[in-house]
Structure 1
């Protein structure tokens, strides 16, 4: 039986939200090696976004950077319009943008932080998925594609004493992944999710504990933090034709945690 038509038969064009640093930047470089044209979405750090785009170009691929707040619908539309105008029809989305706020007990977490986390991690992921599905779904005239959402092991661990609100937002990402896969796989769009464990990125310092990744290594069976590139490899596989029958998966990449 022949394989279905997949994005490999045309130019791969992938939007990566939160693409300037950490897992997003590593994913941009990994996808560049697979021949993707990459739209790097960032909210604040233009210098880091340009640095990642330059690295993608050095790897032989094309990149464009777009400043956007993924929790804002008009900003999301501008992001996708810019990438489409630069590279053509979309084939993939990596929903990586996320925030946590400072570490701390739930009762000490401000409602402002909670709302921002939900706005970016849940609403932003939904808005980007919605726009990508309107671009790629065959019902909407698209040619198919793939979405990979970035969740967290916190979604199942709960993260007591650190950021329960963040864990709850990532559990929502897992749920939307399953629901969207069931709704859109028949329309040519696979939807999957990666759940990273503790990974060596700058996010820990922004939460208030730069050494947190190594502290978490003590309770991780692998006895070390993950590297951003290890998460990027999982994302790249889910976007590839090798995962052509994989949709609705929540792939745990946690060193055994």
Structure 2
């Protein structure tokens, strides 16, 4: 491929929404750089992308809570691919459900905020200089719970409220510099999310026929990426049709 082929970095790309987004953007002709903490997951997705879509896919193990690691991710992308056109800020973790606040461990609080808040900040901070050069797109993957309260997972919800405010605030600056900033808010998605914190995954807990899928979210990300200047998808809510029933 020539040097004009667009390049996308995706965090949390080893499985779920991130892996689906890698496949969707690869199908659209992007070279993809895949980041997460687990090298084996990344290598598997990279092999699948290259085999199925015939575009280069680079696996770069990265801990988004480490600002130097995130900076190295962007530097590696530019060294290998020569440019950066899209950054998808997707890495995130949850918390155990329905734990009284006074019983929620400080370790859990730190893990959620370091990944969902600090990791998003570090990724945006590292990617923006390269995105300015290409007038690219920065996409944050938020949540339904970034707009509505969660009595079950208040720390996770708060991290997504922060992300929403951060995304729109960054847009106010970056848009003046030619960078599109988008926020995608899905409701519950039937992925392996929750595996390490809740005892069961979303895929086990949710009815796959009644919720949005990782591929649905990936399509929403692609919609944001596909906008041409001066248009931008500022915020895209992708909810199951009965999401407001509990209200």
TM over 0.5: yes
Picking from 56, 61, 81, the partner of 1:87 is 81
1:238 paired with 2:224, answer: yes
Kindly provide the CA deviation profile for residues 97-144 of structure 1, in whole angstroms up to 9, marking residues without a partner as x: 01113223233211111112111111110111011112122xxxx131
TM-fit CA distance, 1:61: 1.1
Q: 1:112 to 1:127 in 2, by over 3 A?
A: same
Q: 1:78 to 1:107 in 2, by over 3 A?
A: same
Q: 1:213 to 1:84 in 2, by over 3 A?
A: same
Determine if contact 2:193/2:201 at 8 Å carries over to the other structure.
no
SS of structure 1 residue aligned to 2:216:
helix
Q: Aligned partners of 1:189 and 1:14: how far apart in 2?
A: 14
1:253 paired with 2:238, answer: yes
1:184 paired with 2:169, answer: no
Kindly provide the CA deviation profile for residues 58-98 of structure 1, in whole angstroms up to 9, marking residues without a partner as x: 11111111111112111111111111111111111000001
Determine if contact 2:10/2:90 at 8 Å carries over to the other structure.
yes
Picking from 181, 187, 199, the partner of 2:189 is 199
Q: 1:216 to 1:246 in 2, by over 3 A?
A: same
Partner of 1:54: 47
Partner of 2:124: 129
TM-fit CA distance, 1:243: 7.5
Q: 1:82 to 1:208 in 2, by over 3 A?
A: same
Q: Aligned partners of 1:18 and 1:212: how far apart in 2?
A: 16
Gaps of 5+ in 2: none
Q: Aligned partners of 2:110 and 2:214: how far apart in 1?
A: 27
> TM-score, length-normalised on structure 2?
0.90
Determine if contact 2:192/2:201 at 8 Å carries over to the other structure.
no
Runs of 4+ in structure 1 displaced over 4 angstroms? 211-217
TM-fit CA distance, 1:227: 0.9
* Number of residue pairs the alignment of both structures matches: 238
What aligned pairs does 1:8-47 form with structure 2 within 5 A after superposition? 10-43=4-37, 45-47=38-40
> TM-score, length-normalised on structure 1?
0.86
Picking from 141, 145, 151, the partner of 1:160 is 151
TM-fit CA distance, 1:185: 0.7
Partner of 1:101: 95
Q: Aligned partners of 1:99 and 1:114: how far apart in 2?
A: 11
